[in-house]
Amino acid sequence: MTVRSPVALTIAGSDSGGGAGIVADLKTFEAHGVWGTCAIAAVTAQNTEGVQGFDTVNPDLVRAQVASVASDIGVDAAKTGMLASAELVSVVADAVAAAGIEKLVVDTVFVSKHGDTLLADDAVGALRERLLPLATVVTPNLPEAARLVGFAIDDKAAMERAGKALADLGPQVVLVKGGHLVADDSPDCLVVAGSAPVWLEAARIPGRHTHGTGCVLSAAICAELARGMEPADACVAAKHFTERAIGAGLELGRGVGPVNPGWERMA
């Protein structure tokens, strides 16, 4: 008897180098036994040394991709990544709502691992006002969280304040990632709306091959939501998965190599 697979949808940009974006998301979905689908919102020329260029996809085509998948295959959970412009953020918010997608992970992609800007300044407000209220989980790093809440975040107390402020915007769960802290560890602050913050402590993993870390983390959360896991538990499971992916980082190219969501096949 044929059994339906859980289905996850990524709405994001491509990475020609294979380390981040939609490519990393689909690899992560597959590693979790989830059928991956996609709506491409941008196309990048990218490798381990940086982003050499990108172009956005026509918003009407992005909307059509989401509707096409949702109306036929169905979507158990979705995630967003690089959306680039305020118009794309708004179109994706409308498409997610129209498709009735109830589980949404918002990965607030502002810049690449190499510092390349991937979100226009005028899109930050649209992200805050249109997409975060629809989110089941939002996963900002410290610079992204600071842009969204309007104050500097350089310690754990500020991370807690930011998590609470972002939760007030509508997401069910906020995971403020602490990888940018200047410290020997890499703690994440998990805020479930209406509850006290919980700290997910972890040692900082040595190594420079970390391209795609945020994409893999948010895709792993999305995959676990598609499989029926509760949002806070999905964040914990995804953090453990991503730690293993970082530890199995691949030495490819001349720059920052990718983390490896297929680490389990190498174990």
Catalytic residues: 177, 210, 212-215
Residue 159's CB is within 10 A of a number of other CB atoms, namely: 23
Q: Are 190 and 179 in contact (CB under 8 A)?
A: no
Tokens encoding 63: 């909307």
Among candidate residues 60, 107, 110, 55, the one with its CA nearest the CA of residue 87: 60
Helices within the chain (DSSP H only): 21-31, 59-72, 86-99, 123-126, 142-149, 156-167, 213-226, 231-247, 263-266
For residue 136, give the amino acid letter.
T
Return d(Cα 42, Cα 267) in angstroms, integer: 34
**Burial of 149 (C-beta count, 10 Å sphere; 0-12/13-18/19+):** buried
**Phi-psi label, residue 100: left if phi above 0, alpha if psi -120 to 50, beta otherwise:** left
Contact 236, 199 (CB under 8 A): no
